[in-house]
Every structure is written in C-alpha cells, then in structure tokens.
Amino acid sequence: MTAASARRRTLRTAADLLDAGLIPPDTAEAVERVARSYAVALTPAVTDLIDPADPLDPIARQYVPSAEELVTAPEDLADPIGDAAYSPVKGLVHRYPDRVLLTPLLVCPVYCRFCFRRARVGDADATMGEAEIDGALAYVAERPDIREVILTGGDPLMLPAARLEALLGRIGAITHVDLIRIHSRVPVSDPGRVTARLAGVLGGPGKAVWLAVHVNHSRELSPQAAAALSRLAGAGIPLLSQTVLLKGVNDRAEVLEELFRALVRHRVRPYYLHHPDLAPGTGHFRLTIAEGRALMRRLRGRLSGIAQPTYVLDIPGGAGKVPVGPDYWDEEAAAVTDPAGVRHGYPPD
C-alpha cells in the first residue's frame, strides 16, 4: 500500500500510521503500545493537514500517538475533572446546578492525544441505549433548576442524523430546559459529516442549539472545514469554539492570534481556552498556568473583545471551571493596568 492510499482511510493502528508515512519505523512498537491503552483514529481530513516531513507539525502532535504518552506523571489523574463523582445516572454528569452533561456515545471520528477522557473514549459498547437515555432525561425532567443540556462524549455529531434529531426533540420537550449545547470536533476533523441534513437538524425548530467547535490551530480550518462551518452558521446555529492550550501546538501568542482571527472570520466566537487537564500520559502537552496567563496578556489589546476567549482551568476533582487569566485591576492600589503594561489610577487624579 502506498502512503497516499493509506491516507484515504481512517488510520487506527501503528501499521496504518507507518504505511501513511506519519511515524518512523523505530517508533512503531511504542506507538502500538500506546494504541493498546488509548484509542487511535485519524480521518483523511486530518491526515491531509499533516506534513510528514515536519517533525514539529502541530496537527500531527495533536493526533499522532507518541511514546511520550507512556509516561505517567505523579500529578496525573485517571478522572482529572471528577466526572465519576457527579454522575447520578449512566451517561449524565451534574456538576453545576443549572446544567448537565449528557454523553450519548463515547466514539469520535478522531482521538486527540491530550483528551481528558482518553481512557474511556473509543468504547463503542458505551453508547447509551434507549433505557439509559430514558433514565437520563427523566433525571433532567424532574429537576427544574436544570436549564441547559450539553451533549458531549465522544462526539455527538457521530450519531446518525435521525437519532440526533430524535434526541434533540426529546430534550427540547422538557419545558424548563432553555437551550442545548453540543461539543464537537466533527466540523474540523470530519467536515464531510456536516451535511445540509445535519445542519437542518441542528438549526431546526425547537429549543436553541449552540455548537461549540473544538479547534486548536488555524491549519485545522481547511476549506472543507470552512464550508462545514458556513453550512452550520447559515442554518442559524450560534457557533462557539473551545481550544486547549498545548505545548508544541499553540503555545505562542502569534499562533493563538492567528487561530482566533480565523475563527471570527468563520463566524465562530472564541469561547474557552482550556488549560490542559491532568490526564494520564499528557504531561508533555502541559504549560504552566503562569505561561498561559502571559500568553493571554500578550493577546489583550492585539485582538478585539469578540476574538478573546476566557482562559480557564477545570479544577481537579469536579469543583468546576474557573477563569485563570491575567489580572488588570489592583483593588488595594485602586489602579488598572492597560494592555501595554502601564498602570493608571482610577478614577484619575
């Protein structure tokens, strides 16, 4: 098989990656060991973005397994954001009073090497059955404080359009739910799935559906991804983005600036910049929070407000997300720091 033909199908094994020219032969054994613990999948849309000749390719770093994943740091956690402790019924996480996460399936078109659910995703048997969906939605229906249902996984846009439409309809029928949010990599990793039919399902009548697209580098916004985003925006679906701050991928201010500018051009509002979670085998992706704060400070004043995400940390153990971006206001001194780093008293003398 030629490298070109290997790249036209989803790559799932070390042999596949070797055939496609994405890993050197001397790493195949280590990559196969990684694949035994953590799911691997690269769609043709993703492999087309990778430059095999570039050992620092930011797309490859996100999706191609490496021996670094076999190293577990002392601070790594099997459940880094505390899903298990807040899961009252299968497939549902209730961490905040007004919203719940629903994971109808745990499969994705691609598997990110930094994923905080990396030990669970890829399990096709974890797809929720009808009885389990019934139980989760009954839980929501019985709690009027729940105003938002967030579909995540896995990737909810891997569901057949008809099944997704039925699920959205059932959630929308719960009177106290105001909106449905969907988190997905599909528009950038498998944009061909974003058909007119799917866009129509998401933008159809009923409760408002917001879509949070996971994208970490401007190169992921290929012409095909741009077309998928256009179909979604054209169907009236509000688009947000989530980005993970990753060493070797987007840990420079100019790279983040290019990404956020590209997103707003495609009618996607940058929403969160996540500090990476303490998932096992992902320490090689992590910067310090101080480094992340410095990057965000450099972006302030260079980007308009609609292109500025909130830099957040998901506190281990399930305590929730909090902003950890740079501070500009000094309460004690009654002074504010401008984007250039100059302090000003407020009100002025």
Q: What's the average model confidence in pLDDT over 37-63? A: 97
Task: Considering the candidates 96, 170, 178, 261, report the single residue annotated as catalytic.
Answer: 96
User: 267 an active-site residue?
Assistant: no
User: 231 an active-site residue?
Assistant: no
CA dihedral 289, 294, 300, 301 (to 10 degrees): 180
Nearest to 291 by CA among 318, 256, 321: 256
User: 8 an active-site residue?
Assistant: no
User: 117 an active-site residue?
Assistant: yes
End-to-end CA distance of the chain: 74
Contacts by 164-173, CB closer than 8 A, 24 or more apart: 164/198, 164/201, 165/201, 165/204, 167/104, 167/133, 168/201, 168/202, 168/204, 168/206, 168/207, 168/209, 169/206, 170/133, 170/137, 171/102, 171/137, 171/140, 171/207, 172/206, 172/207
pLDDT, one tens digit per residue, over 273-303 is 999 999 999 999 999 999 999 999 999 989 9
Task: Considering the candidates 7, 99, 120, 297, report the single residue annotated as catalytic.
Answer: 99
The residue type at 208 = A
Supply the pLDDT for residue 125. 84
User: 86 an active-site residue?
Assistant: no
Task: Considering the candidates 95, 118, 120, 297, report the single residue annotated as catalytic.
Answer: 95
Task: Considering the candidates 16, 57, 155, 277, report the single residue annotated as catalytic.
Answer: 277
Task: Considering the candidates 16, 38, 108, 118, report the single residue annotated as catalytic.
Answer: 108
Separation of alpha carbons 128 and 90, rounded Å: 8
265 contact partners, CB below 8 Å, separation of at least 6: none
User: 99 an active-site residue?
Assistant: yes
User: 83 an active-site residue?
Assistant: no
Nearest to 45 by CA among 28, 59, 58: 59
**If pLDDT is split at 50, 70 and 90, which confidence band does 122 have?**
confident
CA dihedral 300, 303, 307, 308 (to 10 degrees): 0
pLDDT, one tens digit per residue, over 2-32 is 555 566 799 999 999 999 999 999 999 999 9
Domains of the chain: 3-70 (no CATH), 84-330 (3.20.20.70)
User: 118 an active-site residue?
Assistant: no
| Residue scoring higher pLDDT (32 or 122) | 32
User: 277 an active-site residue?
Assistant: yes
- N residues, the chain: 349
pLDDT, one tens digit per residue, over 126-183 is 899 999 999 999 999 999 999 999 999 899 999 999 999 999 999 999 999 999 999 9
Question: Is a pLDDT exceeding 70 seen at residue 261?
Answer: yes
Separation of alpha carbons 41 and 21, rounded Å: 15
Separation of alpha carbons 68 and 184, rounded Å: 26
User: 76 an active-site residue?
Assistant: no
Separation of alpha carbons 265 and 165, rounded Å: 29
Cα 33-188-250 angle, rounded to 5 deg: 70
Task: Considering the candidates 57, 61, 112, 231, report the single residue annotated as catalytic.
Answer: 112
What value does the mean pLDDT of the chain take? 95
Contact 324, 292 (CB under 8 A): yes
Enter the tokens of residue 141: 């229906």
205 contact partners, CB below 8 Å, separation of at least 6: none
